[in-house]
Structure 1
Amino acid sequence: MTYTLERVARQASEAKELAVHTSRALRDLKRGTKSGLSGRDRFVRHAVLRALAANRPGITYEDVYREVYRERAATSPATTTVPEWASELAAVDVGEFLATGVQPLALSRLAALGRTVSLDGIGTLRIPFRPPGDDVGGWIGEGAPIPADSLDFGTVSVSPRKAAAVSIFTAELKKRAAADIEMLLDSALRTDIASIVDAALVDDQPGSAVRPAGLRFNVAAVTASAATDPLVAMRADLAKLAGEIMAGAGGGTMPVYLVNPVQMTSFGFLPNIAYAVVDTPAVPAGTVIAVDGPAFISGNGSAAVDASKDATIHEDTAPAPIVAGGTAASPTRNLWQTDTLAVRVILEVAWGLPAGRSAWMEGVKW
């Protein structure tokens, strides 16, 4: 009996040690410390594990990790902390995913030139800024009072809004190598999210309970140059837009131009341009937007990645409930019936800009 109890105790201890080692390895995976993973890689790998573990009874994320990446649990000192890595996505990981890769989001590139805030647990965040005012200070005589202006501040309010995308893949995705799966998910998720976020960023629609206001909302377009020489017109257009946000609004400091890739090619003919340029297909061809970069405020909040092989989806740009009032939505896709996999990403994002710090024009000749 004593021998049996000792053997059971030893086996239990070995099992506990193995579990602890596995947890430590997975913690390192989340943090990127073991394999040197970047935030972008961690985000994509998280999506891969979610997708490959979808609807596999008895299969855990740990099992999929070892199966796909062919890694064994590392031997390391015991720890009492078991991180819920499969249900967490750090904001820095989300931000890095959106800001890196072959096609970084325009929002991320613009945010890098302004101010970024955390939206975790925030309903509405008000960011103070000093609006344009009278000149202050000046040359004074001995003992004379120094001119001063009132310290009146304005605020820019940012509230987290949910951007969500569902990417659908065939079951053959699971037959590919791990590197191929990561590449496919990276490209698909980035493209789907960009089509939502960047399109809203550069449009002229007002903010609402479901989205932030576009940079062109409530901003009248300025007239593009009528010069027939494209280079002359380009110089005039860029100078005019810069003037709108720097002189006209007062207080602008560094214009950032957002353009379509068609217009982006023309910047190669302007040597040593002093200001940043962000290209994105979300900006209509022939349209140029200028933003005061340092005044731009953006925020990242929570993120969630899920996968399913059983859901039924209404495939429409304006999806409706599958059945509402006895009427079925159409067209629908049943993932189980079509042997397909859906990966859903939901991000909390927001942005804001003081009034007068953006300008735009359309119909440019370059």
Structure 2
Amino acid sequence: MTYTLERVARQASEAKELAVHTSRALRDLRRGTKSGLSGRDRFVRHAVLRALATGRPGVNVEDIWRERYRERAAAGPAMMTVPTWATELVPSDVGAFLADGAQPLALSRLAALGRTVSLDGIGSLKIPYRPPLADVGGWVGEGAPIPVDDLSFGTVTLSPRKAAAVSIFTAELNKRATPDIETLIDGALRTDIANIVDAALVDDQPGSALRPPGLRFNVAAVVSSTATDPMAAMRADLAKLAGEIVAGGGSQPVFLVNPVQAISFGFLPGSTYGVIDTPTVPAGTVIAVDGPAFISGNGAAVVDASKDATIHEETAPAPIVAGGTAASPTRSLWQTDSLACRVILEVAWGLPAGRSAWMEGVKW
């Protein structure tokens, strides 16, 4: 009898533990806190925790994490390496954040076709590549010498550049938008960064101490087709751009276009080349890039929030006070009961010479 009672008690205890485990698993699935969160989710969650903890004395991000994502119960210490615990407190997974979502950055989609490197702790990184060479090798007879390549290499240098943006929300975000706060902050951060990074990626400006070079920098525009039939003009334009890439030593052209031009690719049956649409490419402009030759890098990321700062609300901000002159317009976050979320990323990209081409004024 005693043995039977002990066995029943043990089975009941095991059933209770199983029920608790199942309940927690179902809750985690509903909240999206199960281990294996995407890089986008972890990065956005980090920003959410920073925002919700701002302006609450005595409350830190770990407290907000327990309050929002876990049950209020005893838990182990916050460790950055523990899944579904404090990994959300680390601003990691920058590349995944940029690549995920309904509208991934053009940079991340292009980077997926080439080579991506880490820039953490790097001041300057040289990436070797094989430049176009004359034909080497060939058919040889028995005992005859084999032609030899000199194995010369070129290099692309990547230096981290800082892209930063500040988004301002009213304090009501914390009070009334809590169920949607991740979506709101994700959209704000992604839009801000896209306006900075993708715009620089596709322009014609040189690299500097502030930014990487645009894909059109120092590349002469190819003349677009004058054919009156839009489809004929499109085929001629794409063939000409692809020819430029192949002549420069490339092999797999990918086309960056405005959404206006992207629609036309749906009427081009059988096309196997990649297309990246982004509003940062001017309408009527098409950029071709050798996808495998594109090199990009991600470095450190910082996400902060504040309710006490004073901000100069301009796209080209100045110091709040410089030489006795105050910047205008400014906003006191404390006085207007607002919240500012700041994101800073280190990014870089490069491309061997001859691996990009572009044209403007296309007829399709």
Return the TM-score normalized by structure 1: 0.87
Residue 250 (structure 2) aligned to one of 244, 249, 252: 252
Q: What are the residue-to-residue correspondences of 1:154-233 with 2, within 5 Å?
A: 154-233=154-233
1:314 maps to 312
Contact in 1 for aligned 2:79/2:87 (Cα 8 Å)? no
Query: Shift of the alpha carbon at 1:55?
Result: 2.1
Contact in 2 for aligned 1:307/1:341 (Cα 8 Å)? yes
1:343 maps to 341
Query: Shift of the alpha carbon at 1:87?
Result: 5.8
1:89 maps to 91
Residue 353 (structure 2) aligned to one of 352, 355, 361: 355
Corresponding letter in the other structure for 1:52: L
Tell me: CA distance 1:54–1:80, structure 2 relative to 1, closer, same or farther (3 Å). closer
Q: Supply the distance in 1 between the matched residues of 2:80 and 2:278 (Cα, whole angstroms).
A: 41
Contact in 1 for aligned 2:158/2:349 (Cα 8 Å)? yes
Query: Shift of the alpha carbon at 1:38?
Result: 1.3
Query: Shift of the alpha carbon at 1:79?
Result: 7.5
Tell me: CA distance 1:195–1:81, structure 2 relative to 1, closer, same or farther (3 Å). closer
Query: Shift of the alpha carbon at 1:56?
Result: 1.3
% identical equivalent positions: 79
Contact in 2 for aligned 1:99/1:105 (Cα 8 Å)? yes
Q: Supply the distance in 1 between the matched residues of 2:46 and 2:280 (Cα, whole angstroms).
A: 27
Contact in 2 for aligned 1:65/1:71 (Cα 8 Å)? no
Query: Shift of the alpha carbon at 1:62?
Result: 2.0
Contact in 2 for aligned 1:258/1:290 (Cα 8 Å)? yes
Contact in 1 for aligned 2:170/2:338 (Cα 8 Å)? yes
Q: Secondary structure at 1:290's aligned position in 2? A: strand
Contact in 2 for aligned 1:216/1:358 (Cα 8 Å)? yes
Q: Supply the distance in 2 between the matched residues of 1:48 and 1:199 (Cα, whole angstroms).
A: 26
Contact in 2 for aligned 1:263/1:286 (Cα 8 Å)? yes
Query: Shift of the alpha carbon at 1:209?
Result: 0.4
Contact in 2 for aligned 1:255/1:276 (Cα 8 Å)? yes
What CA deviation, in whole Å up to 9, does each residue of 1:28-62 have, x standing for no partner? 9xxx9844421111111110110010121101112
Q: Secondary structure at 2:300's aligned position in 1? A: strand
Tell me: CA distance 1:214–1:108, structure 2 relative to 1, closer, same or farther (3 Å). same
Gaps of 5+ in 1: 1-27
Corresponding letter in the other structure for 1:40: R
Query: Shift of the alpha carbon at 1:338?
Result: 1.0
The alignment yields a C-alpha RMSD, in angstroms, of 2.0
Query: Shift of the alpha carbon at 1:70?
Result: 5.4
Residue 329 (structure 1) aligned to one of 327, 330, 342: 327
Query: Shift of the alpha carbon at 1:318?
Result: 1.1
Contact in 1 for aligned 2:286/2:360 (Cα 8 Å)? yes
1:25 maps to none
Q: Secondary structure at 1:338's aligned position in 2? A: coil
Q: Supply the distance in 2 between the matched residues of 1:45 and 1:361 (Cα, whole angstroms).
A: 41
1:123 maps to 123
Corresponding letter in the other structure for 2:362: V
What CA deviation, in whole Å up to 9, does each residue of 1:165-223 have, x standing for no partner? 00111111112354410010011110000000000000000000010000000000000
Q: Supply the distance in 2 between the matched residues of 1:87 and 1:327 (Cα, whole angstroms).
A: 39
Pairs aligned (count) = 331
